[in-house]
Amino acid sequence: MEHCYCGYGYKDDPPPSPRRQVTRPLDSISPPRPLPGPLPRLPVLCGTSALVVGPGRANAISRGFCKKEVADCLAHQTPPTMSTSRTGKKRRRPASRSARAGLQFPVGRIHRYMKSSEMRLRRVAVGAPIYTAAVMEYLSAELLELAGNAARDNKKSRITPRHLLLAIANDEELHTFLRGVTIPQGGVLPRVHPLLLMKKGDPNASSTTAVPPQYSASSVVTPAQKKVGVVAPTPRPKKASGKGAKANASLNPLYKKKLFLGQTLHVVQGDIAAANVQAVVHPTGSKFPLAGQVGAALEAAEGFQLKKALDELMKNHGPLAPCGATLSPTSHVPADWIIHVNGPTHSDTNVEDKLAKSVKNCLAVADQKNLASIALPSIGSGRGGLEKSDAARIILKAIHDYFVNVMASSLKDVYFVLYDDESVRVYKDELAKLDA
């Protein structure tokens, strides 16, 4: 017997006897509540059959459905969940060869170009387009990074073809590899002599050059000031002899880096007193003490001549100002000049700013004398109390900023003459990070 879910028992049972109808007055009957809106077409489930009930078909109940269930479904307006017979995983889009290799450049397109070019006469391996795409992607990223640095140095917020050309010219490997490549709207590389851009000592020159406080190139003690009426010849390079010649012969650059405007930075391990450059930097104090490794090495090479020159500077110009720099001639070392700089100490405040200012003043004094090469020790890592890595980072950044901001510079080579292997390793690492 089939059971009906409307509450009247089985279908074969006789209907119940009619009950007495209770009549009520019309005033006691509440009016029906209005519907919030048109009823949507909702599927109603009953057993294994389904019926779609719409607003105009509320009484169209097909066979096998219960009126009570349909009414409850329409009242609550909650559509039941429809079951589907389609099962299985969603079909995935096949990954490209570039995605499988972890690259952005199209491997498949490069493979087609290889097969359609002159390489079609040879066998093109499966890994050849992948390796080619990886090299192209690396070179593009490197070139964009260098072009961004060039745009930043020129104070531009957008990379132009000109910046791409300057980035290629700044990097030695890229310049050798892309020497014959023409970049549209990139222009040409300027080759203007620095002396043609501005005159040294011109009052109308740009004020971007760092001017050392209190001391300048005019305060240099020359032999002409010692003897009245005698014209002193200009300093000429001296040839080292004996121990100095052997030490100078071992000053081979271990690592070098070419800057954006053409200056080259060299990392050298050896004795700074034997460096065959035009000027060496001597970190000292306000009263020109010959303390530290650099002072002791210069005193051993120069002897009493250096002490006499420092006494003349102290007598004529007084103590050296903080971060100030001045010059004195040499007698027995290969360098022509010694640049004395009053660097920061560990007890000073803003040691990093003072160290950067001291380095810029040394470069400014060398530019005032039209020097082409200079040798610097690791300033700030001794009496300055800084870590070697921090001192190297500050010095390199100060040199980079100086050459970017100065209008013209006669300096072409900057040597970092270091003593220990740790300092050499630190400077090599910091030079590699200089572009970043």
- Tell me how far the alpha carbon of residue 59 is from its chain's centroid: 75
Token digits of residue 123 = 């066998």
- Give the per-residue pLDDT at 331: 85
Look at residue 285 in the predicted model and tell me its pLDDT.
87
Average pLDDT value for residue range 103-126: 85
The pLDDT confidence band at residue 57, using thresholds 50, 70 and 90, is very low
Radius of gyration of the chain (CA): 43
Angle at 241 between CA 235 and CA 244, to 5 degrees: 90
Q: Are 393 and 430 in contact (CB under 8 A)?
A: yes
Enumerate the β-bridge partners of residue 279: 337
Confidence of residue 263 (pLDDT cuts 50, 70, 90): confident
Residue-wise burial string across 268-298, b where 16 or more C-beta atoms lie within 10 A, e elsewhere: bbbbbbbbbbbbbbbbbbeebebebebbebb
Judged on CB neighbours under 10 Å (0-12, 13-18, 19+), 347 is exposed
The string of pLDDT tens digits covering residues 60-91 is 444 445 556 656 655 655 555 555 555 566 77
- Taking residues 356-377, report their average pLDDT: 92
**Looking at the predicted structure, is the pLDDT value of residue 278 above 90?**
yes
Confidence of residue 208 (pLDDT cuts 50, 70, 90): very low
204 band by pLDDT with thresholds 50, 70 and 90: very low
Kindly state the tokens that stand for 215: 């001391």
Torsions phi, psi for 50 (to 5 deg):
-135, 145
CA distance 43 to 46: 10
pLDDT at 267: 92
In single-letter form, the type of residue at position 166 comes to L
When the candidates are 2.130.10.10, 3.50.50.60, 3.40.630.30, 1.10.20.10, the CATH number that belongs to 105-177 is 1.10.20.10
**Stretch 345-365: mean pLDDT:** 88
**Of the ranges 26-35, 223-232, 242-251, the best mean pLDDT one:** 26-35
pLDDT tens for residues 296-336? 889 889 888 888 888 888 888 888 888 999 999 988 899 99
Residue type, 378: S
Residues, the chain: 436
What per-residue confidence (pLDDT) applies to 137? Answer: 93
Higher pLDDT: 216 or 149? It is: 149
The whole-number pLDDT of residue 364 equals 92
Confidence at residue 232, expressed as pLDDT on a 0 to 100 scale: 39
Q: Is the pLDDT confidence value at 169 over 90?
A: no
Which pLDDT score is estimated for 238? 46
> Which run of H or of E encompasses 134?
helix 127-153
Q: Which of 379, 384, 364 is nearest to 427 (CA)?
A: 379
- What's the pLDDT band for 246 if we cut at 50, 70, 90? very low
Query: Which pLDDT belongs to residue 234?
Result: 44
How far is the C-alpha of 208 from the C-alpha of 186, rounded, in Å?
Answer: 27
**pLDDT, the chain, mean:** 74
List CB contacts of 223: < 8 A, sequence separation 6 or more.
Answer: 230, 232, 329
Helix (H/G/I), strand (E/B), else coil: 31: coil
- Give the pLDDT of residue 134: 93
Q: What are the boundaries of each domain within the chain?
A: 43-78, 105-177, 239-432
Whole-angstrom CA distances from 327 to 130, 148, 340, 406 are 58, 38, 6, 21
Kindly give, in sequence order, each residue whose CB lies less than 8 Å from that of residue 253, ignoring residues fewer than 6 positions away.
266, 267, 268, 415
The answer to whether residues 295 and 282 touch, using CB atoms and an 8 Å cutoff, is yes
Asked if the 239-432 domain carries CATH number 3.40.1280.10, the reply is: no
CB 259 within 8 A of CB 266: no
CB 320 within 8 A of CB 288: yes
Which of the four pLDDT bands, split at 50, 70 and 90, describes residue 31?
A: low
Q: Which ranges of 318-385 does DSSP label H, i.e. alpha helix?
A: 351-368
Look at residue 248 and tell me whether its pLDDT is greater than 50.
no
